[in-house]
Amino acid sequence: MMRNIAMRDAYGQALAEIGAEMPEIVALDADVAGSSKSSIFGEKFPDRFFNVGIAEANMAGMAAGMALKGKIPFVHCFAAFMMLRAGDPVRSLGCYQNLSVKYCGTYAGLSDSYDGASHHAISDMSFFRALPGMRVVSPADAVETRAAVRAAAGMLGPVYLRISRAEVPTLFSDDYKFEFGKGVVMRDGTDLAIVATGGMTAKALLAADLLKKDGIDARVINIHTVKPIDRELIARCARETGALVTAEEHNIYGGLGGAVAEVLALTVPVPLEMVGVQDVFAESGDYEELLEKYGLSVSQIRDKAKLVIKRKK
């Protein structure tokens, strides 16, 4: 692992770079451009940047109109409000018409830690995953974020990009190749597979290090695309290891854990444990302390791994 970089910084830089190559890209922001880092695009292309104010639903509606006229809109607000405020036009305009709007939900998971439950986004993946035609992407680091932005810009149809506020370790080199719907084997192993997404991928790798000291050989899989999920890879991991643990900064219902459970139920049923927020609202506080309190630490991934191995015996 290399130095920590905030995904949102990588996102803003990538959008500006790709915007120089694709003049049809426009950016809309709900008055949080400094937070989402869409401001980097806005400074470079002021005539293609629209701050709509605190009006997320209107923003999503405007983006749909722009897409119908051949633009590729990137829409920005906090992830919680992309779901709760913009959800209606995202569903009825963006998805229903299969428009090429890219919805960037920033401050995902618990990363807006001090603003508390009103701003935490722990059910956004379940919402967006259930929308017909929507792709859901949760990058693991800054390199993957940049690659995901480029891939989203070139893809027809709607995409939800889930971007954390937190700094995360750099896991990939600059020549990393991103492919929608294809998970990445970060580390091989035979005793179980830890299937992670977003910032939890780095923690899964650390958990695998702890497990190695206890004689447990853990495979680590990065699932950057939660929808469409890599069914083939998950089923193969289930066949080869016999047990899985999922790790996500999201409610255990409807996100990565739910998606993996669906795959296993239809392909290779094996014991499964889920690391995630246990269906509660999280309080305000220090980010890492919140992750620890609500079950999202390295040690808790390790403990779930040991539990699922016992279940498969």
Q: Are residues 11 and 145 in the same domain?
A: yes
Contact 119, 84 (CB under 8 A): no
**Final residue of a structural domain among 169, 201, 225:** 169
**Torsion over CA: 148, 152, 155, 158 (sign):** positive
Q: Can you give the residue range of the structural domain that contains 120?
A: 4-169
Residue 301's nearest CA partner among 226, 202, 234, 224 is 202
Among 169, 202, 229, identify where a domain stops: 169
- Between CA 293 and CA 3 the distance in angstroms is 25
- Same domain? For 114 and 138 the reply is yes
* Same-domain status, 211 and 236: yes
- pLDDT, one tens digit per residue, over 208-234 is 999 999 999 999 999 999 999 999 999
Q: Are residues 36 and 165 in the same domain?
A: yes
Q: What is the pLDDT of residues 8-60, one digit of tens each?
A: 999 999 999 999 999 999 999 999 999 999 999 999 999 999 999 999 999 99
Is 151 in the same domain as 51? yes
* Active-site residue set: 56
Q: With respect to residue 51, please indicate whether it lies within any of the assigned structural domains.
A: yes
Angle formed by the axes of helices 298-312 and 200-213, nearest 10°: 60
Task: Read off the pTM.
Answer: 0.96
21 within some domain: yes
What's the number of domains the chain is made of? 2
- Is 136 inside a domain boundary? yes
Determine what percent of the chain is predicted with pLDDT higher than 70: 99
Q: What is the CATH number of the domain that holds 264?
A: 3.40.50.920
How far is Cα 221 from Cα 259, in angstroms, rounded to an integer? 14
In a domain, 259, yes or no: yes
Same structural domain for residues 111 and 192? no
For residues 88 and 151, state if they share a domain.
Answer: yes
162 with 199, same domain: the answer is no
Please check whether residues 188 and 155 belong to one and the same domain.
no
Q: Could you tell me if 158 and 102 are in contact, meaning their C-beta atoms sit under 8 angstroms apart?
A: yes
Domain endpoint, select from 137, 169, 201 = 169
Q: What are phi and psi of 305, to 5 degrees?
A: -65, -45
Same domain (yes/no): 123, 41: yes
Residue 163 pLDDT exceeds 80: yes
Mean pLDDT of 173-199: 97
CATH of the domain at 37: 3.40.50.970
**49 occurs within a structural domain:** yes
Q: Is the pLDDT of residue 136 over 50?
A: yes
For residue 179, tell me if it sits in a domain: no
Residues 238 and 214 in one domain: yes
pLDDT of residue 1: 45
In a domain, 176, yes or no: no
pLDDT digits (tens, 9 = 90+) for 81-92: 999 999 999 999
Q: With respect to residue 175, please indicate whether it lies within any of the assigned structural domains.
A: no
Same domain, 152 and 94: yes
Amino acid at 24: E
Q: What is the per-residue pLDDT for 5?
A: 84
